[in-house]
């Protein structure tokens, strides 16, 4: 993971950099809000840690500018103790998490590890169920043979594999497979995608089946 | 005289005869308002040169007997279908035909080859009003039928092109792309098939 740390207190910055580096993360320290904006523009980070009270530009101003460029990197704010408004403003401005000062290094490192795990689990792109292998990266399904899947088929099957043997309603499937911007998606979309998947599972000669009638619920099972 | 000897004209005659029989089976479906069995039909008698080459490769003596009795694809017919479901329909017709006895079937559709090749191969013995190698009349002749969809057929043409080009710079990469493409075409075949089912269910 590559981390941007914006903290104007040199002593504190030094301690945090040392701690993070010792865990194998690579850290770019900067000392005011403007530098944070400039670095965010130039480099790809996995995490940005921004102090709120900084010279030239505050952490909040920097965060707003960074988000305005379309940057969606995970951001953790460092706020002064008891400043509830700071936390709320920070989260509303696009921060993902915050730590109150003074914070313990132990907690900071635990939060970074948690983020690292989450990123890692999203990258884990090969799922298996019974004799089926779903490769999210290649969007292929294989058992005895292999076949390509569309993006929707991949996401639907991914969700069904992670929830195998459970009854899943059409609403469940719509919520987890179709984006919010795809509001026109309905029961028919689910039915078509299920129908395609059934034939594709059959065509790779797998013993896995999707149970359920039009209208749901649907269950992924192995014979 | 080539490897087929006196049988060369017979093989061409059988091929023509078989093409006519398959065409009339296809017509029969149309008469009953059923979808076509196949979209098009390609037939060929294997050239004497490649038959001789095949016998050598298999360590058979280069004789008419090897060409007609040990090799089974002197006469080849390819039935190219619109949809996957048409393939079992064609197969059913071959099983039902009284002039055709199925010897061997290889299902490379449900068991695609590792390179992505998909097709259904049938070796059959057909009974035809000509004298065969053993002197019987009507005689029995081996024929190879290949059944596949249009998508599988175009893929096979592309793969064939690559196989016979020896100066390809990065064959592994091309093979990988071909395999990926085969999976995508299989995906389209299945999708078209499913849509066809859904349309028919609604009626």
**Contact yes or no for B183 and A199 at CB 8 A:** no
Q: Which residues of A touch B187 (CB under 8 A)?
A: 147-150, 200
Is residue B129 predicted with pLDDT exceeding 90? yes
- The better pLDDT of the pair B9, A223 is held by B9
**What are the tens digits of pLDDT across the range B136-158?**
999 999 999 999 999 999 999 99
By CA distance, what is A138's nearest residue in B?
B180
Q: Closest to A196 (Cβ–Cβ): which among B180, B183, B194?
A: B194
Please give chain A's pLDDT, 223 residues, in tens: 899 999 999 999 999 999 999 999 999 999 999 999 999 998 889 999 999 999 999 999 999 999 998 888 999 998 876 677 878 888 898 999 999 888 899 999 999 999 988 776 555 588 999 999 999 888 999 999 999 999 899 999 999 998 899 999 999 899 888 876 677 888 888 998 999 999 999 999 999 999 999 998 999 999 8
CB neighbour list of residue A5: distance below 8 Å, 6 or more residues apart:
A13, A16, A17, A20, A27, A28, A29, A30, A48, A49
pLDDT band at B203 (very low <50, low <70, confident <90, very high): low
| Res B111: pLDDT | 93
- Contact pairs from chain A to chain B, CB under 8 Å: 42
Topology of the domain comprising A126-222: Arc Repressor Mutant, subunit A (1.10.10)
Q: Closest to A144 (Cβ–Cβ): which among B111, B190, B197?
A: B111
For domain A2-123, the CATH architecture is 3-Layer(aba) Sandwich (3.40)
Give the span between the Cα atoms of B152 and A203, in whole angstroms.
14
Place of tokens 């061409």: B12
Q: Which residues of A touch B190 (CB under 8 A)?
A: 147, 196, 199-200, 203
Looking only at the bridges linking them, the beta strands covering B120-128 and A74-80 are: unpaired
By CA distance, what is A214's nearest residue in B?
B198
CA distance A200 to chain B (A): 7
Place of tokens 């130039």: A42
Is residue B42 predicted with pLDDT exceeding 60? yes
**What are the tens digits of pLDDT across the range B183-192?**
999 999 999 9
Segment B21-32 shows an average pLDDT of 95
Give the span between the Cα atoms of A95 and A64, in whole angstroms.
9
User: In chain B, which residues touch A (CB < 8 A)?
Assistant: 110-112, 180, 183-184, 186-187, 190-191, 193-194, 197-198
Task: Look at the pTM and tell me if it is higher than 0.80.
Answer: no
**Contact yes or no for A140 and B193 at CB 8 A:** no
**Contact yes or no for B110 and A192 at CB 8 A:** no
Q: Which residues of B touch A206 (CB under 8 A)?
A: none
Query: Domain segments of chain A: what residues?
Result: 2-123, 126-222
Segment B34-56 shows an average pLDDT of 96
| Res B172: pLDDT | 85
φ, ψ of residue B138 to 5 degrees: the values are -60, 150
φ, ψ of residue A30 to 5 degrees: the values are -130, 165
| Res A117: pLDDT | 84
On the question of a common fold for A2-123 and A126-222, the answer reads: no
What domains appear along chain B, each with residue ranges and CATH number?
Answer: 5-151 (3.30.460.10), 156-202 (no CATH)
CA distance A89 to chain B (A): 48
Q: Closest to B190 (Cβ–Cβ): which among A138, A146, A147?
A: A147
Residues of chain B with pLDDT > 70: what percent?
100
Residues of chain B with pLDDT > 90: what percent?
88
CB neighbour list of residue A123: distance below 8 Å, 6 or more residues apart:
none
CA distance A150 to chain B (A): 9
Looking only at the bridges linking them, the beta strands covering A47-51 and A2-6 are: parallel
Q: Closest to B190 (Cβ–Cβ): which among A144, A192, A196?
A: A196
User: What does pLDDT average to over chain B?
Assistant: 94
Q: Which residues of B touch A205 (CB under 8 A)?
A: 110-111
């Amino acid at each position: 993971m590559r981390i941007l740390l914006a903290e104007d207190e040199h002593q504190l910055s030094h301690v945090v950099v040392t701690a993070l580096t010792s865990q194998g993360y690579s850290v770019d320290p900067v000392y005011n809000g403007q530098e944070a904006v400039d670095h965010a523009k130039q480099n790809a980070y996995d995490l940005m840690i921004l102090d709120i009270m900084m010279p030239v530009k505050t952490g909040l101003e920097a965060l707003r500018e960074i988000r305005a460029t379309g940057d969606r990197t995970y951001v953790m704010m460092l706020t002064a103790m008891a400043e509830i408004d700071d936390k709320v403003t920070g989260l509303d401005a696009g921060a993902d998490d915050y730590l109150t000062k003074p914070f313990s290094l132990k907690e900071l490192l635990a939060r970074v590890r948690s983020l690292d795990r989450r990123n890692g689990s999203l990258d884990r792109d090969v799922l298996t169920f019974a004799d089926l292998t779903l490769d999210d990266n290649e969007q292929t399904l294989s058992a005895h043979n292999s076949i390509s899947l569309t993006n929707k088929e991949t996401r639907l099957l991914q969700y069904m594999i992670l929830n195998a043997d459970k009854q899943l309603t059409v609403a469940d499937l719509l919520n987890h497979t179709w984006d919010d911007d795809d509001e026109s998606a309905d029961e028919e979309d689910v039915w078509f995608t299920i129908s395609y998947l059934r034939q594709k599972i059959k065509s790779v000669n797998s013993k896995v089946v999707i149970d359920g009638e039009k209208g749901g619920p649907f269950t992924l099972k192995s014979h | 005289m080539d490897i087929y000897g006196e049988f060369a004209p017979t093989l061409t005659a059988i091929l023509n005869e078989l093409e006519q029989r398959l065409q009339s089976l296809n017509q029969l479906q149309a008469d009953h308002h059923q979808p076509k069995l196949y979209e098009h039909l390609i037939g060929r008698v294997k050239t004497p040169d490649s038959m001789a080459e095949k016998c050598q490769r298999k360590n058979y003596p280069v004789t008419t007997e090897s060409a007609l009795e040990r090799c089974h694809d002197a006469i080849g017919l390819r039935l190219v279908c619109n949809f996957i479901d048409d393939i079992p329909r064609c197969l059913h017709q071959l099983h039902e035909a009284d002039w055709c006895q199925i010897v061997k079937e290889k299902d490379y559709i449900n068991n695609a080859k590792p390179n992505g090749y998909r097709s259904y191969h049938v070796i059959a013995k057909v009974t035809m009003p000509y004298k065969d190698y053993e002197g019987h009349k009507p005689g029995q002749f081996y024929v190879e039928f290949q059944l596949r969809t249009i998508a599988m057929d175009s893929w096979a043409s592309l793969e064939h092109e690559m196989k016979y080009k020896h100066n390809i710079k990065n064959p592994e990469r091309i093979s990988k792309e071909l395999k990926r493409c085969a999976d995508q075409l299989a995906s389209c075949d299945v999708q078209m098939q499913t849509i066809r089912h859904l349309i028919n269910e609604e009626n």
